[in-house]
Structure 1
Amino acid sequence: MTESSTRIALVTGASRGLGRSAALKLAEKGVDLILTYKDNEAKAQEVLEQIGKLGRRAVALRLDMADSKGFEAFAQRVESALSETWRRDRFDYLVNNAGAGVQASFAETTEDQFDLLVDIHLKGTFFLTQKLLPLIEDGGRIVNTSSGLARFTFPGYAAYAAMKGGVEVLTRYMAKELGPRGIAVNTIAPGAIETDFGGGVVRDNAQVNAQIASVTTLGRVGLPDDVGGAVAALLSDGNSWVTGQRIEVSGGMML
């Protein structure tokens, strides 16, 4: 495969959890990666090593999704990485995955908690994508990350779910406005997954895990590779005609 024909994906928050799984699943399909991490560079390096073992090239760049003022400088680092590693000036796929959770009742959610979620999930997705637009290939793809919680409700996630609802609306607008460039934009909405999200409660609390499994049509809690595999499939050639869609990956949770 030549430099120009190699597909390159930028996956935010790829040092762990769903982002890590998506990056590795994409590498398995022959895609090269630009990964972002916030604090844990060592974990990001581990993912780079795994991608290398799959025969793909990857670089890791630090990014704080809550700091939109740093996005322009980040875009410049992406541009440099593309030039130095691939001798290209654009990449093909953007996966807006990085996020953070806050569990607090509606009555007890603070403004600081709310603002952090806005900055990371809604403002971050909006303005990071905006800054990266000149670096995305015409005919490329964008996958934003929502949550099953934008469809069903669990107490304690009002603010988080509201941000994800905003991401779903934003996705449709992005799909409409980027359509003339042939860029498809969709949303992946995971259900409850066994990761360290929210302190790892779904993974580590047997009672919570069993309760979620009991309301999931396929009878278990999701795993990171369930979502990572779906992201990679959505970015495959066979899905190039899908845009503006919300695709829930929850095993039929709360149907």
Structure 2
Amino acid sequence: MKDNFSVHAGKYAKFRPQYPEALFDYLLDLVPERNAAWDCGTGNGQVASRLAQHFNKVYATDISRQQIEQAKPNPKIEYSVQPAEETNFPDRSFDIVTVAQAIHWFDFDAFYREVNRTLKKGGILAVTGYGLLHVTPAVDTVIRRLYVQIVGQYWDRERKYIDENYMTIPFPYTALPSPYFEHTEEWSLEHLKGYLSTWSAVDHYMQDRRTDPVELISDDLKAAWGKESLLTVRFPILLRTARV
């Protein structure tokens, strides 16, 4: 599993979007028992915190200690630094395994072996994430220029799985029908720029060229944003689920 996010763990916790309540309602309806959940690739614990509201215990893992250090402590969550592909969990431990915005970095075959080992019979695997955000047509045009023309060559090859809505990830299970979800938040222009600065391709660009590519679009982004202090940003939710 790649680690592109330890260096900017603080920014990730501050600027990355959440997930909609409707998504968790859907997942909870799939799970008959709510004893234990594994949130794999937990980052700063966004999804783990939501699961902890419903499960007796949540085990949250990530390869980045820096990311986990950004998570809020919760007595129902046990955080640990472990790779997705090899954990110390006992067999048949979990009612659900979740992966949010991370599976494209995994060794798929090894991870699925671990899912098969640690999930209870009939347990749920839920792979989720979010695609490229939408704001307004004018703002989207500027973001798209950053995404494709400026930092396009700096995306890791795994990014294609997000562009393809996770529909092309190896998935050795019969996928359950998944409804469409969208997450919305009200952001300031500065929050948007902070979020763009967390993109892995932006970091790769800066390491290579010693220039912040977000600043290259700053004036155009401000003009496209207009006079509003806050605008609604929309993230399409990616989702693959299966009963294993």
Return the TM-score normalized by structure 2: 0.47
Return the TM-score normalized by structure 1: 0.46
Query: Higher strand share goes to which structure?
Result: 2
| Higher relative contact order, chain-length normalized (CA < 8 Å, sep 6+) | 2
